[in-house]
Amino acid sequence: MTNRGPAHRLNEHSLGTLPGAIATPEYDRHALSTGIVHLGPGAFHRVHQAWFIESLLAQDPRWGICAVSLRNPDVRDALAAQDNLYTIAVRDETISYEVVGAIRELLVAPESPEAVLQRLCAPSTHVVTITVTEKGYCLAGDGSLDLAHPDIRRDLASPRAPGTVVGLLSEALRRRRAERTAPFAVISCDNLVDNGVKLARATAQFARAVDADLASWIQNNVFFPRTMVDSITPATTDALRASVTEALGVEDRWPVQREAFVQWVIEEGFRGETPDWERAGITLTNDVAGYDRAKLRLLNGAHSTLAYTGSLMGYRTVAEAMSDASLREVVETLMARDILPGLTAPRGLDLPDYIRAILKRFRNPSMHHELAQIAWDGSQKLPFRILGTVRDALAAGRPTGRLCLPLVAWMRFIRRAARRGDSVNDPLAAKLVEIGNACSGRGSKDVPLFLALDTVFPADLRSEPRFTGPLARVYDGEDTASFALPATIRTALIG
């Protein structure tokens, strides 16, 4: 790695000039080899997977990262003059800064496709990690590979020069098989339930369209563990760049930020060489689904409750919404009394401690987590975040009144957006605006309009009076037998 930047910029040369309070790499970056290829070097990868690996490199330099952008050169171009160094700002009661050096190389797949494949095929590469968002998997509605997707069709027409995630994996594994090189493990770090299972199925499906024997070999020899990842990562802003420059005394073109809480859970079962995951603070488990369910229902379910109810009450961020005593009490009670009873703790996770950690995260004033952003795609999120808990509560004979609040707040949020002419960020936006414009403000008329969305509300819940009754009453600002609406929330709902 050569020094390509001036002294006033973060790079190898300026590392030694940083203030003592700034954490910097405690290893010789020139001695690193590349053991991990990462697809999708966005902000989350840099604050999460790369940060975990950073902690191992002083003891085991085999796990340097080659990061691969599948689309554009923006990250590569920003970090090239910094010798691929960048800063993480950790925002808690106080803000701390750490310079990370785990990324040895940044490639842009459209510019250097063969270099990417060669790196994937190198014998020293034992792990491939991925953060490309759900769209990057090119999946159909049933979770299988969408063979009609234009990017997949292009790759199937030229499988030796792929551009998609599954195309790259398939071709790299084909080459490794032909060269008798052991396969790498493939770790999806995107927020898909059963992410490893879905990626394994999609990769095998792509390979089968090219070579049925290759597909069988992948299914029998390549490990695609399920994972769960968590850490709130706001976008990089000019204000962040300014604060990092002030703290370091040199310029970082693309710093990143996250909250102090960070979690990575990986399914156990690796074969061959891998990093010492547990030494890095990563949880290995045979029950990723249990961790996923806890996160989805406790963290994400509470987030959606805050997003819609808090927005109706005039709040902008999670921390602002949590400053409202009535809303904070409702969310805390929802988690403890309505969501927790339907969960079974996986080994290694104390659910009451997890709830306390979530509530602390929500109160963090240094994290400006926008409610509007959390509110996006409600029709896709709420079935997983809330309705599973509703179904479990009904099966156990528990009340559903408080669980109706986030659903009602979403309905009122949509009605308000439609009446104001605000944009709705949702795959069902057009239909939701139509429903919002048809709403009268009365539960007896409005709630059935939303319940008719069969991609959101399954038939068993649409016809269940123990659910639809409380839903309509909360919509009208009325108390249920089990849940008294605080006056401030009632006013916000019926507005």
DSSP letter for each residue of 57-103 = TTT-GGGEEEEEESS-SHHHHHHHTTTT-EEEEEESSSEEEEEE--E
Q: Are 91 and 367 in contact (CB under 8 A)?
A: yes
User: In Å, how far from its chain's centre is CA 214?
Assistant: 31
Q: Quick: pLDDT tens for 150-204.
A: 999 999 999 999 999 999 999 999 999 999 999 999 999 998 889 999 999 999 9
At residue 454, the 3 state secondary structure works out as: coil
Rounded distance, CA 474 to CA 495, Å?
13
What would the DSSP string read from start to end of 123-166? TT--EEEE--TGGGG-B-TTSSB-TTSHHHHHHHHSTTS--SHH
Residue 299 is predicted with a pLDDT of 96
Residue 105 is predicted with a pLDDT of 97
Decide the pairing of beta strands 86-91 and 64-69. Answer: unpaired
Structural fold of domain 289-494: N-(1-d-carboxylethyl)-l-norvaline Dehydrogenase; domain 2 (1.10.1040)
Residue 2 is predicted with a pLDDT of 41
Which of 161, 140, 160 is closest to 149 using CA atoms? 140
- CATH for 14-286? 3.40.50.720
From the CB of residue 174, how many other CB atoms can be counted at a distance below 10 Å?
Answer: 21
Residue 252 is predicted with a pLDDT of 97
Which of 132, 488, 66, 484 is closest to 315 using CA atoms? 488
Q: C-alpha distances in angstroms, 225 versus 128, 144, 199, 302, 356? A: 11, 17, 9, 27, 28
Look-up: residue for tokens 């916000």? 492
Residue 47 is predicted with a pLDDT of 98
Rounded distance, CA 182 to CA 273, Å?
10
Which of 209, 164, 385, 224 is closest to 296 using CA atoms? 385
Q: Are 65 and 53 in contact (CB under 8 A)?
A: yes
Q: Which long-range contacts (CB under 8 A, 24 or more apart) does 306-310 make?
A: 306/331, 306/362, 306/371, 306/374, 307/371, 307/372, 307/374, 307/375, 308/375, 308/378, 308/406, 308/409, 308/410, 308/412, 308/413, 309/405, 309/406, 309/409, 309/489, 309/492, 309/493, 310/371
Q: Quick: pLDDT tens for 88-145.
A: 999 998 999 999 999 999 999 999 999 999 999 999 999 999 999 989 999 998 899 9
**Neighbouring-strand partners of residue 64:** 34
Rounded distance, CA 256 to CA 140, Å?
32
Decide the pairing of beta strands 283-285 and 103-108. Answer: unpaired
Rounded distance, CA 487 to CA 458, Å?
31
Q: Are 374 and 319 in contact (CB under 8 A)?
A: no
Domain boundaries, the chain: 14-286, 289-494
Residues with Cβ within 8 Å of 8's Cβ and at least 6 positions away in sequence, in order, are 14, 250, 251
User: In Å, how far from its chain's centre is CA 75?
Assistant: 19
Q: Are 128 and 36 in contact (CB under 8 A)?
A: yes
How buried is residue 14: exposed, middle or buried, by Cβ count under 10 Å (0-12/13-18/19+)?
buried
Rounded distance, CA 301 to CA 480, Å?
20
Rounded distance, CA 175 to CA 114, Å?
12
- Identify the segments of the chain with pLDDT beneath 50: 1-6
Residue 7 is predicted with a pLDDT of 55
Q: C-alpha distances in angstroms, 203 versus 10, 63, 151? A: 39, 24, 14
